[in-house]
Structure 1
Amino acid sequence: MKVTLLLTAALAAFALQAPAQTAPSRVAADQIPTQKGPLTVQPITHGSVVFTWNGKTIYVDPYGGAQAYAGLAAPDVILITDIHGDHLDPKTLAGLSVGKALLVVPPAVAEQLPAEYQPQIRILRNGQRLDTLGLRVAAIPMYNLPQTADARHPKGRGNGYVLTLGGKNVYLSGDTEDIAEMRALKGIDVAFVCMNLPYTMDVPQAAQAVLAFQPGIVYPYHYRGQNGLSDVAAFQKTVNAANRKIDVRLRNWYPATK
């Protein structure tokens, strides 16, 4: 009895000394069927999302601190779209288990990644693609209009991506406006489309672009701008007024925002 009491006291003391672990505030993940099992879509924050599919985990623009990814599997692939801190975030990368991950990035990002990651990097330029781990990654342009020398996102520096996995095509816009390359997309099953002024495009531009390429499902993401959060409900209303078949999925990408 005495031994039991001593053991209980010791465990209680250890529990008091152990650091508290704060669970991240995340919205529930979605699952989208594919020919090789479900694609799990886990919104993280802003332009960051985690996909799980066919035993593989894909991080897109990991940002916001490593704690935002607590409890998720370590990445097999990391896609980074651009050099800005809400896409290329070395501090977040340093806190994640990325030792086995393939980093797919545009040249400008490769130049800024710490030297320790260089053996893991695969560079894709606009128009190039990579087949790896049973999926295809195609890099497409993302840029501001009009094209000027001082644009925040000049053509050719960053990548949007189209992932092909299990017979589904998933488009990630990156930071872009409603460019011709976006409007010309075909066969997109799932799209993640940005909308935040003055960095990318406004809600009407995003809606008209989506109506042009007609994805099966679209998630508004990357919608925090200088004046707060964009009106994603208005985006949904505009899209569905013209095309009810497009499934506009509104998720809270800013769970800490009241």
Structure 2
Amino acid sequence: MKSSLLTAALATFAVIAQAQTSAPLRAVADQIATKQGPLTVQPITHGSLVLTWGGKTIYVDPYGGAAAYVGLAAPDVILITDIHGDHLDPKTLAGLSLGKALMVVPRAVAEKLPAEYKAQVRILNNGQRLDTLGLTVSAIPMYNLPESADALHTKGRGNGYVLNLGGKNVYLSGDTEDTAEMRALKGIDVAFMCMNLPYTMDVNQAAQGVLAFKPGIVYPYHYRGQNGLSDVAAFKKMVNATNKKIDVRLRNWYPAAQ
């Protein structure tokens, strides 16, 4: 009898241990109040996150393997910003449940997506807007400065996005520098700002961009560069030294590296 109980206990422990080790490492999700219920912000990794609002789930630049999304609802909308592998990741897409997902992408991404997704794709070019599923998606230019034909990110190829969710405007920078279009943004409640050299901008540029359009909340994301992680604490200090009202939220976007 004791042997049977011990065997059962060890089996239960093994199942629990396996579940714990297989669970993805993720930063704790945030909730932000809107006029139509909470907006949940779930950091995943690098430039990828999941937003949940109004019974809809939005995946942004799903990347890093489908295992990172275990336990999250299947997407209703997928936003992809650019053609680079840390934004358009066919391997990750293939491992997700995408049967009901609308894929909102720039034309350059649509041209590189596997054929199986074509029926689900809606192309948005810079300056265009889509109203769907109770939310609004606007495509914002994202590009490197100075503009050049051989830049890592040329103007018009990729999209940043502004989402309106329950009256809250959410800006997703994608890969960009502090462009005139970014600086001209108005009424942004939540912003996700990239800052990684040499691909986008440094923390000073990012801080100056944020101080120009003054979002209520800003999350540094996409901050891994060639020389490691950008100094997001310095970014927060720069922003709040000039404007203490901006809520700079530092979250761990690279938990697997810890």
Tell me the TM-score normalized by structure 1.
Answer: 0.94
Q: Distance in 2 between matches of 1:196 and 1:46?
A: 10
Deviation track 1:35-62 (CA, whole Å, cap 9, x = no partner) reads 1100000000000000000100000000
Deviation track 1:140-177 (CA, whole Å, cap 9, x = no partner) reads 10000011111000000000000001000000000000
Counting matched residue pairs gives 254
Matches within 5 A, 1:147-158: 147-158=147-158
Query: What are structure 1's unaligned runs of at least 5 residues?
Result: none
* Alignment of 1:29 onto 2:16: no
Tell me the TM-score normalized by structure 2.
Answer: 0.94
Shift in CA distance, 242/15, structure 1 to aligned 2, threshold 3 Å: closer
Matched residue, 1:47: 47
Q: Distance in 1 between matches of 2:10 and 2:230?
A: 48
Q: Distance in 1 between matches of 2:93 and 2:34?
A: 29
Deviation of the 1:14 alpha carbon: 11
Shift in CA distance, 14/35, structure 1 to aligned 2, threshold 3 Å: closer
Matched residue, 1:223: 223
Deviation of the 1:257 alpha carbon: 1.9
* Alignment of 1:170 onto 2:170: yes
Q: Distance in 2 between matches of 1:61 and 1:177?
A: 18
Matches within 5 A, 1:195-234: 195-234=195-234
Deviation track 1:49-93 (CA, whole Å, cap 9, x = no partner) reads 000001000000000000000000000000000000000000000
Q: Distance in 1 between matches of 2:217 and 2:13?
A: 45
Q: Distance in 2 between matches of 1:14 and 1:31?
A: 34
Q: Distance in 2 between matches of 1:230 and 1:69?
A: 25
Question: Structure 1 residue runs of 4+, over 3 Å off?
Answer: 8-17
Q: Distance in 2 between matches of 1:38 and 1:13?
A: 39
Deviation of the 1:256 alpha carbon: 1.6
Matched residue, 1:131: 131
Secondary structure at the aligned position of 1:234 is classed as helix
Q: Distance in 1 between matches of 2:115 and 2:146?
A: 35
Query: What are structure 2's unaligned runs of at least 5 residues?
Result: none
Percentage identity across paired residues of the two chains: 80
Q: Distance in 2 between matches of 1:24 and 1:248?
A: 25
Matched residue, 1:80: 80
Matched residue, 1:240: 240
Q: Distance in 2 between matches of 1:14 and 1:90?
A: 36
